[in-house]
Amino acid sequence: MVKVVLENVGKVFKGSKKAKETVAVKGFTAEFPSNKVVGILGPSGCGKTTTLRAIAGLDPPSEGKIYFEDKDVTYLPPIERDAALLFQFAVVYDNMTVFDNLAFPLMVKNINKEEINKRVKETAEFLGLSDILKKRAKGLPASINQKIALGRAIIRKPKVLLLDEPLSSLDPESRLYLRRELKKVIRSMDTTVVYVTHDQSEAMTLCDKIAVMNEGKVHQYDTPENIYLNPATTFVAWFIGEPGMNLIDCSMEASEGKYYIKIDGVSDVSFEVSKWSHALKESDKIVLGIRPEFITITKTYKKNSIAGKCLVIESFGSFALLDILTNCSPNNIIKVKTPLSDDLPKVDGDVYLTFPPAYIRLFDKKSGELRVVMTE
Protein backbone atom coordinates (compact mmCIF):
# COMPACT_ATOMS: atom_id res chain seq x y z
CA MET A 1 0.00 0.00 0.00
CA VAL A 2 1.69 3.18 -1.13
CA LYS A 3 0.36 6.53 -2.09
CA VAL A 4 2.02 8.25 -5.03
CA VAL A 5 2.81 11.92 -4.56
CA LEU A 6 3.73 14.30 -7.36
CA GLU A 7 5.26 17.56 -6.26
CA ASN A 8 5.50 20.27 -8.88
CA VAL A 9 6.54 17.76 -11.53
CA GLY A 10 7.60 19.25 -14.85
CA LYS A 11 9.16 17.93 -18.00
CA VAL A 12 10.88 19.87 -20.73
CA PHE A 13 12.13 18.18 -23.86
CA LYS A 14 15.27 20.02 -24.89
CA GLY A 15 15.30 21.50 -28.34
CA SER A 16 17.69 20.50 -31.09
CA LYS A 17 18.49 21.80 -34.55
CA LYS A 18 15.39 20.11 -35.85
CA ALA A 19 12.86 20.55 -33.06
CA LYS A 20 11.94 23.37 -30.76
CA GLU A 21 12.07 22.96 -27.01
CA THR A 22 8.71 21.71 -25.75
CA VAL A 23 7.26 21.91 -22.29
CA ALA A 24 5.40 18.62 -22.00
CA VAL A 25 4.32 18.90 -18.37
CA LYS A 26 4.43 21.78 -15.93
CA GLY A 27 3.64 22.08 -12.23
CA PHE A 28 1.87 18.74 -11.73
CA THR A 29 1.11 18.49 -8.02
CA ALA A 30 -1.24 15.79 -6.75
CA GLU A 31 -1.56 12.95 -4.31
CA PHE A 32 -2.73 9.61 -5.69
CA PRO A 33 -4.22 7.76 -2.70
CA SER A 34 -3.28 4.15 -2.08
CA ASN A 35 -5.65 1.42 -3.23
CA LYS A 36 -7.53 3.79 -5.47
CA VAL A 37 -7.62 4.27 -9.20
CA VAL A 38 -6.52 7.65 -10.41
CA GLY A 39 -6.98 8.60 -14.04
CA ILE A 40 -4.90 11.01 -16.06
CA LEU A 41 -7.14 12.13 -18.88
CA GLY A 42 -6.55 14.48 -21.78
CA PRO A 43 -6.22 14.78 -25.56
CA SER A 44 -3.14 13.60 -27.47
CA GLY A 45 -0.08 15.59 -26.56
CA CYS A 46 -1.42 16.86 -23.24
CA GLY A 47 1.47 15.35 -21.26
CA LYS A 48 -0.30 12.40 -19.70
CA THR A 49 2.03 9.71 -21.01
CA THR A 50 5.06 11.83 -20.12
CA THR A 51 3.75 12.02 -16.55
CA LEU A 52 3.20 8.27 -16.45
CA ARG A 53 6.70 7.60 -17.76
CA ALA A 54 8.09 9.81 -15.02
CA ILE A 55 6.18 7.86 -12.38
CA ALA A 56 7.42 4.61 -13.89
CA GLY A 57 10.98 5.88 -13.90
CA LEU A 58 11.47 5.46 -17.64
CA ASP A 59 12.10 9.14 -18.13
CA PRO A 60 12.74 11.23 -14.99
CA PRO A 61 11.15 14.69 -14.73
CA SER A 62 13.19 17.83 -15.40
CA GLU A 63 11.87 19.36 -12.21
CA GLY A 64 9.86 18.44 -9.13
CA LYS A 65 9.74 15.31 -6.99
CA ILE A 66 7.93 12.01 -7.07
CA TYR A 67 7.33 10.02 -3.88
CA PHE A 68 6.03 6.52 -3.31
CA GLU A 69 4.69 6.97 0.23
CA ASP A 70 7.61 8.78 1.92
CA LYS A 71 10.32 7.52 -0.36
CA ASP A 72 11.71 9.89 -2.95
CA VAL A 73 11.80 7.86 -6.17
CA THR A 74 12.31 10.74 -8.58
CA TYR A 75 15.59 9.41 -9.98
CA LEU A 76 15.28 5.76 -9.01
CA PRO A 77 15.54 3.30 -11.92
CA PRO A 78 12.29 1.50 -12.82
CA ILE A 79 13.39 -1.84 -11.44
CA GLU A 80 13.82 -0.43 -7.94
CA ARG A 81 10.34 1.12 -7.78
CA ASP A 82 8.03 -1.85 -7.61
CA ALA A 83 5.82 -0.38 -10.30
CA ALA A 84 4.43 -2.32 -13.25
CA LEU A 85 3.58 -0.72 -16.56
CA LEU A 86 1.04 -1.87 -19.15
CA PHE A 87 1.09 -0.29 -22.60
CA GLN A 88 -1.50 0.36 -25.28
CA PHE A 89 -0.10 -2.37 -27.47
CA ALA A 90 0.45 -5.58 -25.58
CA VAL A 91 4.03 -6.77 -25.45
CA VAL A 92 3.82 -10.53 -25.70
CA TYR A 93 6.69 -12.88 -26.49
CA ASP A 94 5.44 -14.69 -29.57
CA ASN A 95 7.67 -17.72 -29.39
CA MET A 96 6.94 -18.46 -25.72
CA THR A 97 3.89 -20.19 -24.29
CA VAL A 98 1.27 -18.22 -22.42
CA PHE A 99 2.59 -19.85 -19.23
CA ASP A 100 6.14 -18.65 -19.85
CA ASN A 101 4.90 -15.22 -20.80
CA LEU A 102 3.18 -14.93 -17.43
CA ALA A 103 6.07 -16.49 -15.54
CA PHE A 104 8.73 -14.30 -17.14
CA PRO A 105 8.76 -11.43 -14.61
CA LEU A 106 9.12 -13.99 -11.80
CA MET A 107 11.82 -16.03 -13.54
CA VAL A 108 14.05 -13.00 -13.94
CA LYS A 109 13.67 -12.42 -10.21
CA ASN A 110 14.92 -15.93 -9.42
CA ILE A 111 11.79 -17.01 -7.64
CA ASN A 112 11.59 -20.77 -7.09
CA LYS A 113 9.67 -22.99 -9.46
CA GLU A 114 6.93 -24.02 -7.08
CA GLU A 115 6.06 -20.45 -6.26
CA ILE A 116 6.12 -19.53 -9.96
CA ASN A 117 3.75 -22.40 -10.78
CA LYS A 118 1.38 -21.34 -8.06
CA ARG A 119 1.34 -17.68 -9.00
CA VAL A 120 0.93 -18.36 -12.73
CA LYS A 121 -2.00 -20.65 -12.03
CA GLU A 122 -3.64 -18.10 -9.77
CA THR A 123 -3.21 -15.27 -12.23
CA ALA A 124 -4.36 -17.36 -15.18
CA GLU A 125 -7.46 -18.45 -13.32
CA PHE A 126 -8.20 -14.91 -12.30
CA LEU A 127 -8.02 -13.63 -15.88
CA GLY A 128 -9.60 -16.66 -17.53
CA LEU A 129 -6.41 -17.80 -19.25
CA SER A 130 -6.15 -21.25 -17.65
CA ASP A 131 -7.22 -23.15 -20.76
CA ILE A 132 -4.53 -21.74 -23.00
CA LEU A 133 -1.51 -21.80 -20.68
CA LYS A 134 0.28 -24.38 -22.81
CA LYS A 135 -0.43 -22.62 -26.09
CA ARG A 136 2.17 -20.57 -27.84
CA ALA A 137 1.36 -16.87 -27.71
CA LYS A 138 1.82 -16.44 -31.45
CA GLY A 139 -1.38 -15.70 -33.34
CA LEU A 140 -3.64 -15.13 -30.35
CA PRO A 141 -6.20 -12.34 -30.69
CA ALA A 142 -5.33 -8.84 -29.48
CA SER A 143 -7.71 -9.03 -26.54
CA ILE A 144 -6.05 -12.21 -25.25
CA ASN A 145 -2.62 -10.66 -25.77
CA GLN A 146 -3.66 -7.68 -23.70
CA LYS A 147 -4.89 -10.05 -20.97
CA ILE A 148 -1.55 -11.82 -21.00
CA ALA A 149 0.25 -8.51 -20.73
CA LEU A 150 -2.05 -7.54 -17.86
CA GLY A 151 -1.35 -10.86 -16.19
CA ARG A 152 2.37 -10.28 -16.51
CA ALA A 153 1.99 -6.82 -15.00
CA ILE A 154 0.08 -8.03 -11.95
CA ILE A 155 1.79 -11.36 -11.32
CA ARG A 156 4.55 -9.84 -9.26
CA LYS A 157 1.98 -7.93 -7.20
CA PRO A 158 3.39 -4.46 -7.78
CA LYS A 159 2.63 -1.70 -5.31
CA VAL A 160 1.91 0.68 -8.16
CA LEU A 161 0.25 -0.36 -11.41
CA LEU A 162 0.61 2.06 -14.30
CA LEU A 163 -1.69 1.63 -17.28
CA ASP A 164 -1.21 3.52 -20.54
CA GLU A 165 -4.40 3.23 -22.62
CA PRO A 166 -4.39 -0.56 -22.29
CA LEU A 167 -7.82 -0.88 -23.91
CA SER A 168 -7.71 1.57 -26.77
CA SER A 169 -6.24 -0.79 -29.36
CA LEU A 170 -9.04 -3.33 -28.88
CA ASP A 171 -12.36 -3.65 -30.66
CA PRO A 172 -15.35 -2.37 -28.65
CA GLU A 173 -16.64 -5.78 -27.59
CA SER A 174 -13.33 -7.11 -26.22
CA ARG A 175 -12.68 -3.71 -24.71
CA LEU A 176 -15.88 -4.06 -22.68
CA TYR A 177 -14.92 -7.46 -21.36
CA LEU A 178 -11.31 -6.62 -20.65
CA ARG A 179 -12.43 -3.50 -18.84
CA ARG A 180 -14.53 -5.68 -16.57
CA GLU A 181 -11.52 -7.92 -15.91
CA LEU A 182 -9.45 -4.88 -15.17
CA LYS A 183 -11.98 -3.60 -12.65
CA LYS A 184 -11.93 -6.96 -10.95
CA VAL A 185 -8.15 -6.91 -10.77
CA ILE A 186 -8.10 -3.38 -9.43
CA ARG A 187 -10.66 -4.12 -6.73
CA SER A 188 -9.02 -7.26 -5.48
CA MET A 189 -5.42 -6.13 -5.59
CA ASP A 190 -3.53 -4.22 -3.00
CA THR A 191 -2.15 -1.65 -5.38
CA THR A 192 -2.36 1.98 -6.40
CA VAL A 193 -3.44 2.28 -9.99
CA VAL A 194 -2.68 5.15 -12.35
CA TYR A 195 -4.66 4.91 -15.56
CA VAL A 196 -3.74 7.11 -18.49
CA THR A 197 -6.28 7.55 -21.27
CA HIS A 198 -7.72 9.98 -23.80
CA ASP A 199 -11.04 8.20 -23.51
CA GLN A 200 -13.21 9.87 -20.92
CA SER A 201 -15.58 6.92 -20.69
CA GLU A 202 -12.77 4.68 -19.52
CA ALA A 203 -11.68 7.29 -17.01
CA MET A 204 -15.15 8.12 -15.71
CA THR A 205 -15.98 4.44 -15.30
CA LEU A 206 -12.81 3.13 -13.75
CA CYS A 207 -11.39 5.94 -11.72
CA ASP A 208 -12.04 7.22 -8.23
CA LYS A 209 -10.40 10.50 -9.11
CA ILE A 210 -9.32 12.02 -12.41
CA ALA A 211 -6.68 14.58 -13.29
CA VAL A 212 -7.78 16.30 -16.50
CA MET A 213 -4.79 17.64 -18.45
CA ASN A 214 -4.35 19.90 -21.42
CA GLU A 215 -1.15 21.32 -22.89
CA GLY A 216 0.95 20.09 -20.00
CA LYS A 217 -1.24 21.53 -17.27
CA VAL A 218 -3.63 19.89 -14.84
CA HIS A 219 -6.96 21.69 -15.16
CA GLN A 220 -8.87 19.76 -12.51
CA TYR A 221 -8.14 16.90 -10.13
CA ASP A 222 -11.44 15.72 -8.76
CA THR A 223 -14.08 12.97 -8.62
CA PRO A 224 -15.75 11.99 -11.91
CA GLU A 225 -19.10 13.47 -10.77
CA ASN A 226 -17.60 16.84 -10.00
CA ILE A 227 -15.66 16.92 -13.23
CA TYR A 228 -18.90 16.31 -15.10
CA LEU A 229 -21.17 18.62 -13.11
CA ASN A 230 -18.81 21.40 -12.10
CA PRO A 231 -15.89 21.56 -14.51
CA ALA A 232 -13.17 23.83 -13.18
CA THR A 233 -12.33 25.35 -16.56
CA THR A 234 -13.90 25.81 -19.97
CA PHE A 235 -11.48 23.21 -21.34
CA VAL A 236 -12.77 20.56 -18.93
CA ALA A 237 -16.33 21.66 -19.69
CA TRP A 238 -15.79 21.11 -23.40
CA PHE A 239 -13.69 17.97 -23.07
CA ILE A 240 -15.89 15.99 -20.68
CA GLY A 241 -19.24 14.79 -21.95
CA GLU A 242 -20.24 13.45 -25.32
CA PRO A 243 -20.57 16.05 -26.72
CA GLY A 244 -19.19 18.48 -24.16
CA MET A 245 -20.73 21.63 -22.70
CA ASN A 246 -21.97 24.36 -24.97
CA LEU A 247 -19.92 27.47 -24.21
CA ILE A 248 -21.64 30.73 -24.99
CA ASP A 249 -20.38 34.31 -24.67
CA CYS A 250 -22.43 36.54 -22.42
CA SER A 251 -22.19 39.70 -20.32
CA MET A 252 -23.41 40.87 -16.94
CA GLU A 253 -25.71 43.85 -16.80
CA ALA A 254 -27.11 45.77 -13.84
CA SER A 255 -30.67 47.01 -13.71
CA GLU A 256 -32.51 48.47 -10.72
CA GLY A 257 -30.01 47.09 -8.26
CA LYS A 258 -30.15 43.58 -9.67
CA TYR A 259 -27.65 41.78 -11.87
CA TYR A 260 -28.44 39.78 -14.98
CA ILE A 261 -26.51 37.60 -17.39
CA LYS A 262 -27.41 38.33 -20.99
CA ILE A 263 -26.41 36.14 -23.89
CA ASP A 264 -24.50 38.10 -26.53
CA GLY A 265 -26.33 38.43 -29.83
CA VAL A 266 -29.63 37.22 -28.39
CA SER A 267 -32.20 39.66 -27.06
CA ASP A 268 -34.88 38.88 -24.47
CA VAL A 269 -32.91 36.11 -22.77
CA SER A 270 -31.47 36.80 -19.31
CA PHE A 271 -30.81 35.08 -16.01
CA GLU A 272 -30.71 36.83 -12.69
CA VAL A 273 -27.36 36.41 -10.92
CA SER A 274 -27.55 39.03 -8.15
CA LYS A 275 -26.65 36.37 -5.58
CA TRP A 276 -23.32 35.69 -7.29
CA SER A 277 -22.52 39.07 -8.80
CA HIS A 278 -19.45 39.48 -6.56
CA ALA A 279 -17.86 36.43 -8.16
CA LEU A 280 -18.37 37.89 -11.62
CA LYS A 281 -17.46 41.53 -11.05
CA GLU A 282 -13.81 41.02 -11.94
CA SER A 283 -14.66 39.32 -15.20
CA ASP A 284 -14.48 41.34 -18.34
CA LYS A 285 -16.31 38.73 -20.37
CA ILE A 286 -18.29 35.78 -19.09
CA VAL A 287 -18.90 32.39 -20.69
CA LEU A 288 -22.09 30.50 -19.99
CA GLY A 289 -21.72 26.71 -20.01
CA ILE A 290 -24.60 24.29 -20.31
CA ARG A 291 -24.61 20.59 -21.16
CA PRO A 292 -26.52 19.46 -24.28
CA GLU A 293 -28.55 17.01 -22.18
CA PHE A 294 -29.87 19.73 -19.87
CA ILE A 295 -31.31 21.97 -22.57
CA THR A 296 -35.06 21.85 -23.20
CA ILE A 297 -36.03 22.08 -26.85
CA THR A 298 -39.49 23.06 -28.12
CA LYS A 299 -41.05 23.80 -31.48
CA THR A 300 -43.13 26.65 -30.07
CA TYR A 301 -41.87 29.85 -28.46
CA LYS A 302 -41.28 29.77 -24.70
CA LYS A 303 -40.46 32.74 -22.51
CA ASN A 304 -36.72 33.36 -22.05
CA SER A 305 -35.76 30.93 -24.82
CA ILE A 306 -33.25 31.20 -27.65
CA ALA A 307 -34.57 30.92 -31.19
CA GLY A 308 -32.72 28.70 -33.65
CA LYS A 309 -32.89 26.47 -36.68
CA CYS A 310 -32.22 22.73 -36.61
CA LEU A 311 -29.22 21.90 -38.85
CA VAL A 312 -28.40 18.26 -38.14
CA ILE A 313 -30.19 15.44 -36.33
CA GLU A 314 -28.14 12.38 -35.34
CA SER A 315 -30.45 9.68 -34.09
CA PHE A 316 -29.22 7.10 -31.58
CA GLY A 317 -32.19 4.80 -31.04
CA SER A 318 -33.56 6.27 -27.86
CA PHE A 319 -32.20 9.79 -28.09
CA ALA A 320 -30.96 12.26 -30.66
CA LEU A 321 -28.17 14.81 -30.94
CA LEU A 322 -29.19 18.02 -32.64
CA ASP A 323 -27.09 20.86 -33.99
CA ILE A 324 -29.05 24.10 -33.63
CA LEU A 325 -28.02 27.23 -35.50
CA THR A 326 -28.49 30.34 -33.32
CA ASN A 327 -27.16 33.87 -33.00
CA CYS A 328 -24.93 32.90 -30.10
CA SER A 329 -21.18 33.43 -30.22
CA PRO A 330 -18.37 32.48 -30.55
CA ASN A 331 -19.85 29.30 -31.99
CA ASN A 332 -23.32 29.79 -33.40
CA ILE A 333 -24.12 26.10 -33.17
CA ILE A 334 -25.63 24.83 -29.92
CA LYS A 335 -25.72 21.10 -29.36
CA VAL A 336 -28.79 19.56 -27.76
CA LYS A 337 -29.24 15.99 -26.60
CA THR A 338 -32.85 14.96 -26.17
CA PRO A 339 -34.90 11.76 -25.94
CA LEU A 340 -36.43 10.64 -29.23
CA SER A 341 -40.08 11.53 -29.51
CA ASP A 342 -42.63 12.40 -32.15
CA ASP A 343 -42.24 15.97 -31.01
CA LEU A 344 -38.70 16.24 -32.35
CA PRO A 345 -38.13 19.08 -34.83
CA LYS A 346 -37.32 18.35 -38.48
CA VAL A 347 -34.10 19.38 -40.21
CA ASP A 348 -34.37 23.09 -41.13
CA GLY A 349 -37.28 23.48 -38.66
CA ASP A 350 -37.54 26.40 -36.20
CA VAL A 351 -36.85 25.58 -32.55
CA TYR A 352 -36.56 27.29 -29.16
CA LEU A 353 -33.99 26.42 -26.51
CA THR A 354 -34.59 26.88 -22.80
CA PHE A 355 -31.74 26.69 -20.26
CA PRO A 356 -32.82 25.58 -16.75
CA PRO A 357 -30.85 27.91 -14.42
CA ALA A 358 -29.78 25.09 -12.06
CA TYR A 359 -27.66 23.63 -14.86
CA ILE A 360 -25.99 26.86 -15.90
CA ARG A 361 -22.30 27.29 -15.11
CA LEU A 362 -20.53 30.63 -15.50
CA PHE A 363 -16.85 30.97 -16.38
CA ASP A 364 -14.46 33.87 -16.68
CA LYS A 365 -13.70 34.10 -20.39
CA LYS A 366 -10.09 35.23 -20.09
CA SER A 367 -8.83 32.65 -17.59
CA GLY A 368 -11.45 30.04 -18.47
CA GLU A 369 -12.02 29.39 -14.76
CA LEU A 370 -15.36 28.44 -13.21
CA ARG A 371 -16.87 31.32 -11.24
CA VAL A 372 -20.49 30.44 -10.54
CA VAL A 373 -22.57 27.31 -10.07
CA MET A 374 -26.07 28.72 -10.08
CA THR A 375 -27.48 26.11 -7.69
CA GLU A 376 -25.23 27.22 -4.86
Partner 1 sequence: MAKLVVENVTKKYGPALTLEKISFTAEEGQITVLLSPPNGGKTGICKIVAGLDEVDSGKVYLGDRDITDLEPKERRVSMMFQKLALYPNMNVFENIASPLKALHLPPSEVINQVEAIANKMKISHTLYRKPGTLSGGERQRVALSRALVKNNADLYILDEPLTNLDAKIRASMRAEFKILQKEINQTMLYATPDPIEALALADKLIVLDKGKIIQQGTPEYIYRNPINKFVATFVGYYPINLIEGSIIEKGEKIILQTNLFEIEISKLRDSVKDHINSKVTLGLRPELLNVVKKEPKVQESLDLFYIKGEVFEFEIRGSDTVVYVKINDQIIRVLESKITKYDIGIKVWLQFNLKDIYLFDAESGLLIR
Residues of this chain that interact with partner 1 (CB under 8 A) are 43-45, 171-173, 176, 179-180, 183, 198-201, 204-205, 224-225, 228, 239, 241-244, 291-293, 311-312, 314-319, 321, 323, 335, 337, 339
- Please, what is the minimum distance in Å from the beta carbon of residue 135 to partner 1? 21
User: How would you label 5-32 residue by residue, b for 16+ Cβ within 10 Å and e otherwise?
Assistant: bbbebbbeeeeeeeeeeeebbbebebeb
Residue number with CB closer to partner 1 (339 or 357): 339
Please count the other Cβ atoms lying within 10 Å of the Cβ belonging to residue 274: 11
Backbone dihedral region for residue 343 (phi beyond 0: left; psi -120 to 50: alpha; all else: beta): alpha
- Cα separation, 233 vs 237, in Å, equals 6
Closest CA to 338 of 305, 310, 297, 301: 297
Residue number with CB closer to partner 1 (119 or 335): 335
- Please, what is the minimum distance in Å from the beta carbon of residue 229 to partner 1? 8
- Cα separation, 105 vs 78, in Å, equals 14
User: How long, in residues, is the chain?
Assistant: 376
Residue number with CB closer to partner 1 (121 or 179): 179
Residue number with CB closer to partner 1 (128 or 339): 339
- Please, what is the minimum distance in Å from the beta carbon of residue 198 to partner 1? 5
C-beta of residue 229 within 8 angstroms of C-beta of residue 293: no
- Please, what is the minimum distance in Å from the beta carbon of residue 238 to partner 1? 9
H/E element, 227: helix 224-229
- Please, what is the minimum distance in Å from the beta carbon of residue 245 to partner 1? 10
Residues contacting residue 323 through CB under 8 Å, at least 6 positions apart: 310, 311, 312, 333, 334, 335
Residue number with CB closer to partner 1 (158 or 368): 368
- Please, what is the minimum distance in Å from the beta carbon of residue 79 to partner 1? 33
Residue number with CB closer to partner 1 (183 or 299): 183
Residue 55 amino acid letter: I
Residue number with CB closer to partner 1 (22 or 74): 22
Residue 344 amino acid letter: L
- Please, what is the minimum distance in Å from the beta carbon of residue 171 to partner 1? 7
- Please, what is the minimum distance in Å from the beta carbon of residue 205 to partner 1? 4
Residues contacting residue 214 through CB under 8 Å, at least 6 positions apart: 42, 43, 46, 235, 239
Residue number with CB closer to partner 1 (339 or 349): 339
